[in-house]
Amino acid sequence: MIALTLAQIAHATSGRLQPAGTATADTVVSGTVDTDSRNLGAGDIFVAKPGEVTDGHLFVDAAAGAGAALAIVEHVVDAPISQIVVADAVQALADLARMVVARVRAEGTLRIVGITGSNGKTTTKNLLARILSDEGETVAPRASYNNEVGAPLTMLRVQASTRFLVCEFGASGPGAIAKLAGLVTPDIGVVLMVGMAHAGGFGGIEETARAKAELVAAVRPGGLAVLNADDPRVAAMAAGAAERGIAVRWFGTTAAADVRAGDIETDAAGTRCVLTVDDEQLPLRLQVLGAHHVMNAMAALTAAVALGVSPADAVARLETVELAERWRMQPMGGQRVRIINDAYNASPDSMVAALRTLAQITGPGERTVAVLGAMSELGEYAGEAHDRIGELAVRLRIQRIVVIGPEARRLFLSAVAEGSWDNEAVYFATADEAYDYLLTELRDGDRVLVKSSNAAGLRFLGDRLGESFS
């Protein structure tokens, strides 16, 4: 974080300062801001956020012991550390982020990109950060820091020397993206796609579309919206951009896109395509598995070019990315048995894309194995969504379908009903049971996809399989 006095932080957070030791209102702090006391060191700032499982106030003393200079709290804690008492620690975190970003933006050349969409946010964020990092100091979220806590923590990492801030905005309901994006008013807003991810929290796909459009509405006057020309719900957001005088740049596979891809081919080494950027054609060899990541690459490239990066440089940097993020289409195992661990998150759209990728990268004499768990946060749409994935797995002729967990049992039943009658589909209540089965079932030439939402925990099963078959 930039250097601020305790008084300035108290003012930004509407808090009451209680200095400790030799500290005064004029004491300057500039350390890292975090809600996890285990990540703190000398001079850092701890935000004591109440949580569902535990309360951050229980760890203020640990933060002081780690050398933290300040704790932002909702009530005074008996600990040897300066404290700022606020009404709401999460809101205080947001208010502090807003002030810090505004100061850096006013004093330097900071450019801000916001990214949202039902799928692909983290991959696109990482691809864009890779492109921009060669242009200047770039701050981007760690992992999927895209909620009311993670997004402000990312924003607070900016310094006076930061040239680019890439923000990822997720949401579980209407208004969340507007609130987060409103903290920074991005120069560029990127909307990837509108799908069924988190549809249960939004009340349906049309409500999801309205929520994603909140990013376009938050782009600063004179800014740019980067929109997916292939998604009708995203394309419709151009009308709102026009009303606000926001320019639009398109990416996709249609002729209308400013950045478009053609001749897309996928194999076990990645995806090849030819990109057209306005009138310039550039071949791209993306190492990240899955043809669906071409759309994420185009979105990142479109934003980067708008920020002044040459298309050729952007493509060259995209080609150096080997892995989008841990547990996202992550190759593991060895040549005999290859594991693709894609179990950090799952929605109907990403599940379809992953299964299709599995089918595409499996060659003659090799066998497709899909290890599937539940998709979370689909609400009333969960049953039908799992039905469709079970049916698709059979239609893609996935040769072994391993379904895990009670929440995913309907997927298994749908696969059986679709035609998986000869033990192609099996069901296990727990990941441990599935692991024991797979140890004896997998054989040379198998290509194994592990896919589920984070809550199902199959990413750890993927890790175990990767180690066992490495």
Binding residues for ATP: 117-123
Assess contact for 118 and 195: CB atoms under 8 A.
Answer: yes
- Of the candidates 152, 162, 164, 154, the residue with the CA atom closest to the CA atom of residue 111: 164
CA distance 285 to 289: 11
Q: What is the largest CA-CA distance in the chain?
A: 74
Name the amino acid, one letter, at 184: V
Residue spans of alpha helices (H) in 273-347: 293-306, 311-318
Q: Which residues are 265's β-sheet partners?
A: 272
| Positive or negative: CA dihedral 242, 244, 249, 254 | negative
The long-range contacts involving 109-112, CB below 8 angstroms and separated by at least 24 positions, are 109/163, 110/158, 110/162, 110/163, 110/164, 110/165, 111/163, 111/164, 111/165, 111/187, 111/188, 111/307, 112/164, 112/165, 112/166, 112/167, 112/184, 112/185, 112/186, 112/187, 112/188
- DSSP structure string for 92-156: HHHHHHHHHHHHHHHHS--EEEEEE-SS-HHHHHHHHHHHHHTTS-EE--STT--STTHHHHHHT
Exposure b/e, 404-437, CB count within 10 A at least 16 = b: bbebbbbbbbbbbebebeeebbbbbeebeebbeb
Known binding residues: 117-123
Could you tell me which residues are beta bridge partners of residue 261?
275
Of residues 449, 453, 406, 457, the one with CA closest to residue 427: 406
Amino acid code (one letter) for 67? G
Residue type present at position 453: S
| Joined tokens for residue 336 | 């005999």
CA separation for the pair 337, 469 (Å, rounded): 6
Q: List, in order, residues 6 or more apart from 379 with CB less than 8 Å away.
A: 199, 200, 201
d(Cα 76, Cα 70) in Å, to the nearest integer?
12
**Amino acid in the structure at residue 81:** I
